[in-house]
Chains A and B, each alone.
Chain A
Amino acid sequence: MVVGTQFVGSVASGSTHRWFTWGWPADWNVIWTVLSTTPVTGAPQVSWDVAVERASSTDVTYWISIQNLTGADANIEARYAITNL
């Protein structure tokens, strides 16, 4: 198991922002999670979707779409876990 943080960023209020990260070996089992790093109590702040592109015979590109569910900008952190390493 290998875990890490791939990127940090900010998502504007009420919007969705999409990041991509490329060159991931296709035989890695990768799970993506997203964390809000801006404390706001009382309701969910962000949700995310992961889309995958088979960029070559060996590599994949992950597209991480992060939706800000609130009326304020939110800082985020995108984390990965490679479960078969």
Chain B
Amino acid sequence: MWCNTQVTYSPSPNNARSESELEFNPLNALNVVGASKRFNNPATYDFTLAAYFSFDGGQGWAEAPPFALLSDPDPNKIWSGVSDPTIAWDASGNCYLAALPFPTPSSPFETLGIAIYRSTDGGQNWSGPNFIHASTGDDKQWIEGDQNPGSPHFGHVYCAWDNGSQLAFARTVDAGVTWIGPGAQPVGTPLAFDSFGPSITVSKDGGVHIFWIAGTTIKCVRSMDGGATFSAPQVVVSGVTTLSMGLPAPGGFPEFPGGKFRVLTLVSATSAGAAHTLVVAWADLREGVSRIYYRRSIDGGVNWLGSASGDPLLPWYVASGSEQQDFHPQMDNAPDGRFACAFYEFGPKWSGGPPWIDTVIAVSNDGGATFGDRETVSNVPWDPAVDAPLSHGDPKTTFIGDYFGLAADASGFVPFWTDTRTGIQEIFCGRKLNIGPWTGMQFQGTVPASSTHRWFTWGWPACWHVAWTVVPTTPRPGAPQIRWRVEIERASPGNVTYWIVIDNLTDQDVDVEARFAIFAAD
């Protein structure tokens, strides 16, 4: 059972949110920063990014001020917004958001380059954009920090993106003051020439591994010297059936049967362990329905295990039903070495029901060998048709994000996804609950004869499942003495206040005791 916490409370359905990312502060486990698209007009695909921060481990959230945008002497290159959120931390507690500025719809360009925003206060405030690369071919950036204290490159931050089909690269080794390419080369120097949607992971030895889709293959380059030099591209998976290869694309983007939202095959990679285990996952259509496939290396990417075309992530005993489509895999690892893959499952949630989406997580407790520990994270499935923006304003295709977030701290994995249960596309996050019960007595008091008295008790985490009982402690046999009811106040996004209303049914004062039972807590 997972607790679902609503991260965003949008004032209007126009402020739909999707395509999210999440990362924990490596210096403060209670500080976590997320980001997503935040729409202004879903009908015209008018949006920019918004960032969110929490200082209580994700129970309560606030939204940072809007990101600053840049003007430009060329009216076609004035920033209208920024897109494609991705987040990383360095070793000093600085948080980076790599963004993709784009111009107004009247411009002939769709994107303008790569911008880096930096926060030095845990995501509460963000610098102006550092426009590190200008190219109208830039897209689908990813950013990752070396958070391994044993690494010789601890604290470096790496960024990779598509510049057209080039795999472009940049890094900072001075906490974001300057950005450089590989060696002494400039930002954006290409590492390969067939890139689509790169994903970066940094292994414990400081190895930088960049994966991308190249046609029907997944390729990787590796740097063992902090991004100064990279290996030649290596094919790590061949025979991929991308979603673009088999799905109809009425508006240019693939769509599942029964769905109208766009989907893509993008890679997601992570690494963990002293053996530098790497895991890369993607959505694959080879079975006729979309399934998550993965491949693993246990020697830092030198050799890759299993089938050359990858293997199904989910073992047969936890596989999704034949009418379900699994997509948008997000890989991460926890400090204890466990791997996890969160993904969306699209399809009817009961016989004959409409196709909705559940957010699912599959955890590996054996170093990525198997992912048999499957759980549904979302407490209720969500309808992707609700409040869905039109992708690029095209009425044939809607938008729920091309990916979502997954992060981990010492207490476990935290998916960070889009959800429409409130009628608005909002961002939710999830934490696994521990099952109790834990019981106790919260307060004692006296209710005067034939009257009602109300107590409140505040600061209870909203994730906790709590039940209340009240008993009289003044003996009086022969008839009921009290009854009670519980009223609840959602005092903040992360906390509730319980109001215990106790009626004295007798003509004498009654002493009472209010007891709680916590059935589950995070």
Known A-B contacts A5-B380, A36-B496; the reply to A41 vs B489 at CB < 8 A is yes
Q: Is the CB of A45 within 8 A of B422?
A: no
Across-interface contacts of B499 in A (CB, < 8 A): 44
Across-interface contacts of A77 in B (CB, < 8 A): 379
Q: Is the CB of B489 within 8 A of A1?
A: no
Known A-B contacts A4-B379, A35-B496, A77-B379; the reply to A44 vs B465 at CB < 8 A is no
A53 and B435 CA atoms in complex are apart in Å by 28
A20 and B255 CA atoms in complex are apart in Å by 35
A77 and B419 CA atoms in complex are apart in Å by 15
Cβ contact of A39, chosen from B433, B436, B493, cutoff 8 A = B493
A11 and B499 CA atoms in complex are apart in Å by 19
Known A-B contacts A3-B435, A3-B519, A37-B6; the reply to A8 vs B488 at CB < 8 A is no
Distance between B56 CB and nearest chain A CB, rounded to angstroms: 15
Across-interface contacts of A41 in B (CB, < 8 A): 489, 491-492
Across-interface contacts of B520 in A (CB, < 8 A): 1, 3, 81
Q: Is the CB of A44 within 8 A of B487?
A: yes
Q: Is the CB of A81 within 8 A of B488?
A: no
Across-interface contacts of B489 in A (CB, < 8 A): 36, 40-45
A26 and B466 CA atoms in complex are apart in Å by 22
Across-interface contacts of A31 in B (CB, < 8 A): 467, 519
A68-85 toward B: CB 8 Å interface, digit per residue (1/0)? Answer: 010000010101010100
Cβ contact of A33, chosen from B379, B433, B467, cutoff 8 A = B467
For residue A21, CB closer than 8 A to chain B, the reply is no
Q: Is the CB of B9 within 8 A of A39?
A: yes
Distance between A2 CB and nearest chain B CB, rounded to angstroms: 8
Across-interface contacts of B1 in A (CB, < 8 A): 2-4
A35 and B421 CA atoms in complex are apart in Å by 15
Query: How many residues from B make CB contacts under 8 Å with A?
Result: 31
For residue B476, CB closer than 8 A to chain A, the reply is no
Across-interface contacts of A2 in B (CB, < 8 A): 1, 435
CB-CB nearest in chain A for B485: A47
Question: Interface on chain A toward B: helix, strand, loop, or mixed SS?
Answer: strand
Which residues of A1-15 are within 8 A (CB) of B? 1-5, 7-8, 10
For residue B437, CB closer than 8 A to chain A, the reply is yes
Query: How many residues from A make CB contacts under 8 Å with B?
Result: 32
Across-interface contacts of B467 in A (CB, < 8 A): 31, 33, 81
A39 and B496 CA atoms in complex are apart in Å by 9
CB-CB nearest in chain A for B463: A35
For residue A64, CB closer than 8 A to chain B, the reply is no
Q: Is the CB of A8 within 8 A of B380?
A: yes
Most buried by B among A34, A79, A81, A83: A81
Q: Is the CB of A5 within 8 A of B492?
A: no
CB-CB nearest in chain A for B462: A35
For residue A16, CB closer than 8 A to chain B, the reply is no
B370-398 toward A: CB 8 Å interface, digit per residue (1/0)? Answer: 00000000011000000000000000000
Tell me the B residues contacting A by CB distance below 8 Å: 1, 4, 6, 9, 379-380, 421-423, 433, 435-437, 462, 465-467, 485-493, 496-497, 499, 519-520
Q: Supply 16 A–B pairs (Cβ within 8 Å), ascending by A.
A: A1-B436, A2-B1, A3-B465, A3-B519, A3-B520, A8-B421, A35-B488, A36-B488, A37-B462, A39-B493, A40-B489, A42-B489, A47-B487, A75-B422, A81-B465, A83-B519
Tell me the A residues contacting B by CB distance below 8 Å: 1-5, 7-8, 10, 31, 33-49, 69, 75, 77, 79, 81, 83
- 10 smallest A-B Cβ distances: which pairs? A44-B487, A5-B379, A81-B519, A36-B490, A44-B499, A47-B487, A3-B520, A39-B490, A3-B465, A44-B489
